[in-house]
Amino acid sequence: MASKVIHAYYNDDDVLMHAVKKIKEAKHHIEEVYCPFPVHGLDKAMGLAPTRIAITSFMYGCLGLAVAIAMMDYIMIDDWPQDIGGKPSFSYIENMPAFVPIMFELTVFFAAHLMVITFYLRSRLWPFKKAENPDVRTTDDHFVMEIEIHDNEKELRNLLLDTGAVEISIADKNDH
């Protein structure tokens, strides 16, 4: 494992995208790209696997729907049946059209909230966590591409300068 990384700084997202494609064509592995805002298509250009958060969202929505059905059956049919608007209080199926808004709302509630929690846990983002970006400019106006050095520093430096890097620096891998 390499102990040094090279940081290439870019000040334009289009130049960064072009640089990522050039670096991947040259068969170099990009460890990370730090951006001040999401860059459309960067994940595909870097060759990252697609996210599975949509699958978890669907599962959380199904959980919310199941909780809504169980909750309404227990509350409105089993525990405290009431005659509301002439609807029979002994059958969940006959009352289900009136329960659709509740089912929809709990499905969306569970999917949204649990998906956000999953995203934060999966991304290892929690309160008081120290920032992992190598330079504070990545939160303002610069993009930083991080590549491990494997006895190819000069070749990498020349390639990065050709791709439009405005600044290049070498750092220890565990400095940030």
Which tokens in the block code for residue 89? 């209080």
Torsion of CA 39, 41, 47, 51, to 10 degrees: 90
Task: Tell me how far apart the alpha carbons of residues 165 and 153 are, in angstroms, rounded to a whole number.
Answer: 15
Domain boundary among 85, 106, 122: 122
Task: Say yes or no: 72 and 118 in one domain.
Answer: yes
The number of folded domains in the chain is 2
- pLDDT tens per residue across span 94-122: 778 888 999 999 999 999 999 999 999 98
Contact 106, 67 (CB under 8 A): yes
Instruction: Output the furthest CA–CA distance in the chain (Å, rounded).
Output: 82
Task: Say yes or no: 134 and 154 in one domain.
Answer: yes
Task: Say yes or no: 10 and 67 in one domain.
Answer: no
Task: Say yes or no: 59 and 113 in one domain.
Answer: yes
Task: Say yes or no: 69 and 115 in one domain.
Answer: yes
In this prediction the pTM is 0.70
CATH code where residue 168 lies: 3.30.70
Task: Say yes or no: 9 and 68 in one domain.
Answer: no
Task: Using pLDDT thresholds of 50, 70 and 90, give the confidence band for residue 176.
Answer: low
- pLDDT tens per residue across span 47-76: 999 888 899 999 999 999 999 999 988 988
Task: Tell me how far apart the alpha carbons of residues 56 and 74 are, in angstroms, rounded to a whole number.
Answer: 27
Q: Which residues of 27-42 are buried (b: 16+ CB within 10 A; e: fewer)?
A: ebebeebbbeeebeeb
Domain that holds residue 152: 4-49+130-172
Task: Say yes or no: 40 and 98 in one domain.
Answer: no
User: Secondary structure of 22-70 in the HEC alphabet?
Assistant: HHHHCCCCEEEEECCCCCCCHHHHHCCCCCCHHHHHHHHHHHHHHHHHH
Is 174 a residue whose pLDDT tops 90? no
Task: Say yes or no: 38 and 58 in one domain.
Answer: no
